[in-house]
Amino acid sequence: GQSLEQPSEVTAVEGAIVQINCTYQTSGFYGLSWYQQHDGGAPTFLSYNALDGLEETGRFSSFLSRSDSYGYLLLQELQMKDSASYFCAAASGGSYIPTFGRGTSLIVHP
Residue 97's closest CA among 20, 30, 7, 47? 30
Residue 46's closest CA among 77, 89, 83? 89
Q: Does 14 bind other proteins (CB under 8 A)?
A: no
Q: Which of 62, 73, 87, 106 binds other proteins (CB under 8 A)?
A: 87
x/- site string to other proteins, residues 19 to 38, per CB under 8 A?
-----------xx-x-x---
Q: Which is nearer to other proteins, 43 or 70 (CB)?
A: 43
Q: How many angstroms separate the CA atoms of 76 and 64, rounded?
A: 17
What letter does residue 40 receive in the DSSP assignment? Answer: T
Q: Does 101 bind other proteins (CB under 8 A)?
A: yes
Q: Which is nearer to other proteins, 89 or 106 (CB)?
A: 89
CB of 45 to other proteins, least distance (A): 6
- DSSP calls for 28-55: SEEEEEEEEE-TTS--EEEEEESSSEEE
Residue 106's closest CA among 35, 18, 11? 11
Q: Does 98 bind other proteins (CB under 8 A)?
A: yes
Q: Does 71 bind other proteins (CB under 8 A)?
A: no
98, amino acid identity:
P
Residues that bind other proteins (CB under 8 A): 30-31, 33, 35, 41-45, 48, 50, 87, 89-91, 94-98, 100-103
